[in-house]
């Protein structure tokens, strides 16, 4: 019996095709682990748990997930270099991660230039999915617009006319202040913004910042600082009496990674977004908390939820698409639904923004530590603009 050349080549290729079909799905994950460990280390625990759970259940499309993680040290140029190595050397199927907004935008631009899917977990700037959005980029977390919108109705109830703002001087901080000012002015005509402070990220001169805000004699303060900058700002503000008799709206401050380091200096009565991990009662959160504690012997933080949900969203998008081919995933993720500790979330087709929401509430001091009280969860779908508004914001 003789074999044709075509039959012989097909026979030789078959084992390679089977191996490719069974090979792990490789996710190239990049984040600022050494630059922002308070958030990114719990985040890494979160995605680690999600990968373990998905693989134990059989993987996605019958294939295990394999995450190749890299540290960008908070530097956009390092993130882009690492993305190139992950695609070129490691042959990853898609990119994921990022924490800082400027880093996320750099990786997103790289993904566009190289036509590779990028799923941003944490970067909050709206530009990621609107002004600089494109078909190869999806984003999980509630954006600066969404978080400002979640807070603005309660902020307007303060009836404070004279506001000041303080936020880090980079993409996230600038976008956050812009949207809060626009949305509050629309909700409360006649409001005034008297002064703005723009400290360098990680380099706040807290005394000078507090003095400048105090000099404006505001009725209320809008704060976007986080991490060590937030701790310094709160300490200086407490010392100088900046917060006495004034309303404060503070994005991210209710997240355990930023609230816990304040200890007994945690402010009371601030309107915040965050994660009341010590008092949630719904089944989705409680199940996640139990699994996380069993795996890591500690309570999760907001970063833990983000890491877990990011992998769940990637898995759902691939399952819906039925492929890890980039062009297929770029369109196929749209409309995919996935379970998170915060409930069901959808990747929106129109702008690739997830409907991942946030808790809003007020800070309180209990047993010498900060916590969130009077909280409620706001679904991200309820904090997004209409499709017509999105079309005006997004170029393609």
**Domains of the chain from N-terminus onward:** 10-142+282-356 (3.40.50.2300), 145-280+358-388 (3.40.50.2300)
Q: Which residue(s) pair with 359 in the sheet?
A: 274, 377
The total of other beta-carbon atoms located within 10 Å of residue 337's CB is: 13
How far apart are the C-alpha atoms of 248 and 209, rounded to whole Å?
Answer: 15
The helix (run of H) or strand (run of E) holding residue 2 is none
- Burial of residue 369, with CB atoms counted within 10 A of its CB: 0-12 exposed, 13-18 middle, 19 or more buried: middle
> CA–CA separation, 303 vs 256, rounded Å?
9
Q: Give me the residue label for tokens 């600089």.
A: 132
pLDDT given at position 180: 98
Q: What pTM was estimated for this model as a whole?
A: 0.93
Per-residue pLDDT of the chain (396 residues; tens, 9 = 90+): 444 555 544 545 444 444 456 899 999 999 999 999 999 999 999 999 999 999 999 999 999 999 999 999 999 999 999 999 999 999 999 999 999 999 999 999 999 999 999 999 999 999 999 999 999 999 999 999 999 999 999 999 999 999 999 999 999 999 999 999 999 999 999 999 999 999 999 999 999 999 999 999 999 999 999 999 999 999 999 999 999 999 999 999 999 999 999 999 999 999 999 999 999 999 999 999 999 999 999 999 999 999 999 999 999 999 999 999 999 999 999 999 999 999 999 999 999 999 999 999 999 999 999 999 999 999 999 999 999 999 999 976
Name the H helices within 2-100. Answer: 5-22, 37-56, 76-88
- Nearest Cα neighbor of 380 from 350, 351, 346 is 346
For helices 171-187 and 144-156, the axis angle rounded to 10 degrees is 40
Q: How far apart are CA 347 and CA 335, in angstroms?
A: 5
Based on the number of CB atoms within 10 Å of its own CB, is 12 exposed (0-12), middle (13-18) or buried (19 or more)? exposed
Structure tokens at 234: 């709160």
Report the pLDDT value the prediction gives residue 395, as an integer from 0 to 100. 78
Q: Structure tokens of 241?
A: 């009496």
- Beta-carbon neighbour count of residue 195 at 10 Å? 16
Residue 304 is predicted with a pLDDT of: 98
Paired tokens of 132: 């600089």
DSSP single-letter state for residue 385 = -
Q: Which of 87, 83, 48 is nearest to 66 (CA)?
A: 48
Count other C-beta atoms under 10 Å from residue 118's C-beta: 26
Question: Do 330 and 121 meet the contact criterion of CB atoms below 8 Å apart?
Answer: no
Nearest of 58, 27, 46 to residue 306 by alpha carbon: 46
Residue 12 phi, psi (nearest 5): -70, -35
Cα gap 242→215, rounded to integer Å? 10
- Distances in whole angstroms, Cα of residue 253 to Cα of each of 17, 98, 121, 128, 257: 50, 20, 19, 23, 9
CA 59 to chain centre: 24
Element (H, E) at 390: helix 387-393
CA atoms within 13 A on the CB side of 255: 24
Task: Extract the tokens encoding 113.
Answer: 């230039």
Report residue 115 as tokens. 């036509």
């Amino acid at each position: 019996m003789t074999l044709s050349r075509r039959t012989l080549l097909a026979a030789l290729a078959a084992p390679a095709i089977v191996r490719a079909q069974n090979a792990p799905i490789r996710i190239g994950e990049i984040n600022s682990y050494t630059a922002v460990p308070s958030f990114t280390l719990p985040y890494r625990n979160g995605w680690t748990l999600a990968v373990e759970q998905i693989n134990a259940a059989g993987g996605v499309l019958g294939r295990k997930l394999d995450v190749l993680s890299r540290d960008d040290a908070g530097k956009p140029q390092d993130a882009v270099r690492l993305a190139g190595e992950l695609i070129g050397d490691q042959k990853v199927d898609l990119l994921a991660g990022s924490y800082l907004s400027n880093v996320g935008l750099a990786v997103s631009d790289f993904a566009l230039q190289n036509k590779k899917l990028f799923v941003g977990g944490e970067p909050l700037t709206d530009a990621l999915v609107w002004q600089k959005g494109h078909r190869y980029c999806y984003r999980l977390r509630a954006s600066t617009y969404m978080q400002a919108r979640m807070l603005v109705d309660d902020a307007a109830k303060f009836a404070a006319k004279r506001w000041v703002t303080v936020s880090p001087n980079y993409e996230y901080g600038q976008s956050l202040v812009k949207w809060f000012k626009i949305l509050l002015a629309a909700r409360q005509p006649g409001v005034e913004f008297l002064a703005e402070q723009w400290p360098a990220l990680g380099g706040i001169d807290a005394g000078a910042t507090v003095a400048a805000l105090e000099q404006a004699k505001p009725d209320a303060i809008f704060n976007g600082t986080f991490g060590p900058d937030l701790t310094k700002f709160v300490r200086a503000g407490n010392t100088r009496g900046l917060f006495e008799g004034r309303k404060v709206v503070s994005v991210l401050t209710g997240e355990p990674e930023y609230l816990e380091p304040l200890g007994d200096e945690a402010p009371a009565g601030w309107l915040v977004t965050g994660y009341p991990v010590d008092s949630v009662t719904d089944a989705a959160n409680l199940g996640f908390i139990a699994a996380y504690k069993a795996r890591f012997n500690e309570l999760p933080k907001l970063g833990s939820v983000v890491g877990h949900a990011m992998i769940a969203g990637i898995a759902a998008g691939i399952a819906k698409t039925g492929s890890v081919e980039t062009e297929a995933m770029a369109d196929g993720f749209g409309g995919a639904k996935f379970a998170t500790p915060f409930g069901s979330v959808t990747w929106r087709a129109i702008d690739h923004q997830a409907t991942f929401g946030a808790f809003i509430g007020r800070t309180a001091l209990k047993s010498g530590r900060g916590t969130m009280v009077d909280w409620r969860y706001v679904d991200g779908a309820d904090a997004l603009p209409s499709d017509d508004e999105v079309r005006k914001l997004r170029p393609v």
